[in-house]
Amino acid sequence: MTTFKWKIPQHAFLFLAAFAFFASCNKDNSQDMTNESAMYAKDIPTPTATKVAKELSIHGDTRIDNYYWLNERENPDVIAYLTAENDYKEKMMEHTKGFQDKLFQEMKGRIKEQDQSVPYKDNGYWYLTRFEQGQEYPIYSRKKGTLEASEEIMLNVNELAKSFDYFNVAGLSVSPDNKILAYGDDTLSRRIYTIKFKNLETGEMLEDQIPGAQPGFAWASDNKTIFYTAKDLETLRGYKIMKHKLGTPASQDKEIFNEKDDTYNAFVYRTKSDKYIIIGTSTTLAQEYHILEADKPDGKFRPFQLRERGLEYSIDHYGNKFYIRTNLDAKNFRLMETSETATSKENWKELIPNRPDVLFEGMDIFKDYLVLSERKNGITQIRIRPWNGEEHYIQFPEEAYLAYTSTNPEFDTEQLRLGYQSMTTPNSTFDYNMKSKEFKLLKRQEVLGGFDPNNYQSERVMVAARDGAKVPVSIVYRKGFEKNGKSPLLLYGYGSYGASMDPSFSSSRLSLLDRGFVFVIAHIRGGEEMGRQWYEDGKLLKKKNTFTDFIDCAEWLLANNYTNKDKLFAMGGSAGGLLMGAVVNMRPDLWKGVVAQVPFVDVVTTMLDESIPLTTFEFDEWGNPKNKEYYDYIKSYSPYDNVEAKDYPALLVTTGLHDSQVQYFEPAKWVAKMREMKTDKNPLLLHTNMEAGHGGASGRFKALHETALQYAFLLDLAGKNEEFKIR
């Protein structure tokens, strides 16, 4: 069986969409950018949302929400308001239209349009993903036996996407006999997929279609049975595991597992060993798995270890054993093993112990090697542990970087496929010989347009927060930057769900760096950069540490002359958008401008409404406001609930009408309330993508238009224009 996926560090899926818009930049020190944005000179009537008072009462407390009605997606008045905001944004940014086009062409011009991934071999075929000149979407293909064999195109997504404003393919999985491709497509950006099947021998599509699913399927060994996850179409929770037999209607699919606890999300996968189908169900603080031999698709799944609150674990299989990553008596997780026939926790035996200074993030299993991904001092390290022999860590050339194991479907090999990048080194794919310790560079992202990594420099510093915690900070700029307080600086943060923000490369970000910006990532609490405790110290009743860490990093950058208050900007997306909302309420004086991407800003109301997608999963992250202690605490920082009559910095807020993770009405309500309350004349813009969801536009180039909008907003506020670009 072949499953197409790019393996990325744990939790990365929680923030990739937001990270895609990253910007970083450096300043031309010969110029003092004092030009005021033309937005300030425009006298354009601002949109006004109708106020309809809605009383929301709980715990003896009543909140008046004048914009609650904006959650009516089908209401023509809602669409009219969003359209009015888009029109206002267009008029306010009209003077940057030419600049936006230049930025778009510049960023697009760095992308090698005719490109392909490094092939990998699985079950007798070499698989690759390639792009053609001018095309938005990938082509998935394979070659039998050798790379010299003729190419078999499995899916040309450009053809499939022709009739849609938005199109995404996910979960590609080939049957064990290499004959049938299963995949999911989403045409609305709500992350609700329809599973489809293609006969790879004839090129014909099968009649089988399964709507309302999430990507991630598991083939049984009989090549005709597939297990998949059905979604609740209102809450978007994966709640049922179903079994489908090819050639039968989806209405006859058999329910195998039903997760009735709405705080859990169900999923299914097949082990790398191909021996087992695994049903998993997970919430923030607990997991449970059920297993079945893949060659017995009509058999009964049996529990691996039943759920216990606070017991987190994940499993993989090799030989006659299961390997378990768990927090059982291990804050930073440890590795255990157990036999196939005795899987409950009392049978688990320790292989790798818990360490207070190292977070065990994940593992890859090979015939002769165990590969461990570990995070220490904010950086992921890769540890090679032979089943017999001396272990070692892979040595990388830079102090701050992102390294991860990539696609490794084969067991019997000494070659480990690795991904590597840094803030100055483009994404690179290596084969690493685990025996000889030799690297072989297979591909490095080609950045067109004269990019030279020697023109850029990065730093890694530790900033003391107000309570003494040391926050890692990653910095990149173009060489020639001077710490004289004159450069514009963009500070990025996330700080939720234990998602670690790694110091990665962005070719788009060069458009800021080459215009004098410094780009900084604050690795604040709420992530897991410094271990599990780092996450726990930035959630629930300690959530405000996330916000104060970000503010303290900003203060440090100011005190050390990286920038000044008139050139300090901030950006964050999703839960990082919550961060933006919180810090502009707490310290509006710090920021010249802020970009809040798909921001989660109406925390109290959303967490009280269990019909909203993803809410029930979040109680262990934010707390359940039905409990008064959590209600009071969340209300004390929820951005929407804390908008006041005061001056705010310039703001660009983005959302998608079909967003399945942060509903469009949260940023829309926030902007409406800000318009009503704020006392300044700084620009406040709302950009709603009427065809997309949480991750923005589909296609590799369309999304760059939104990036260009955000960069133009920042550069315009910084008084920066094209003629100041560093050459």
**49 vs 212, 581, 689, 691, CA distance in Å?**
34, 20, 18, 22
Q: Would residue 274 show up in a list of annotated catalytic residues for this protein?
A: no
Cα angle 432, 270, 225 (rounded to 5 degrees) comes to 140
Point out the catalytic residue in the list 574, 638, 660, 698. 574
**47 vs 71, 321, 351, 585, 658, CA distance in Å?**
17, 63, 61, 22, 22
Best CA proximity match to 34, nearest among 584, 518, 488, 483? 488
Q: Would residue 574 show up in a list of annotated catalytic residues for this protein?
A: yes
Point out the catalytic residue in the list 65, 244, 694, 698. 694
- Residue 211, Cβ neighbours under 10 Å: how many? 12
Residues pairing with 370 in the sheet: 365, 385
Best CA proximity match to 176, nearest among 7, 3, 5, 292? 3
Residues 103 and 652: their CA atoms lie apart, in Å, by 17
Q: Under DSSP, is residue 491 helix (H, G, I), strand (E, B) or coil? A: strand
Q: Would residue 705 show up in a list of annotated catalytic residues for this protein?
A: no
The DSSP letter of residue 394 is: P
Cα angle 456, 459, 460 (rounded to 5 degrees) comes to 150
Residues 516 and 477: their CA atoms lie apart, in Å, by 8
Residues 85 and 684: their CA atoms lie apart, in Å, by 10
Q: Which residue has the tokens 């017995």?
A: 296
What is the maximum span of the chain, computed from C-alpha positions, in angstroms?
A: 73
Residues pairing with 461 in the sheet: 473
| Residue type at 258 in one-letter notation | N
DSSP assignment string, 104-165 = HHHHHHTB-SSEEPPPEEETTEEEEEEE-TT-SS-EEEEEESSTTSPEEEEEEHHHHTTT-S
Residues 266 and 370: their CA atoms lie apart, in Å, by 28
**164 vs 108, 129, 137, 160, 183, CA distance in Å?**
22, 21, 12, 9, 17
The answer to whether 236 and 226 have CB atoms below 8 angstroms apart is no
Name the residues annotated as catalytic.
Answer: 574, 659, 694
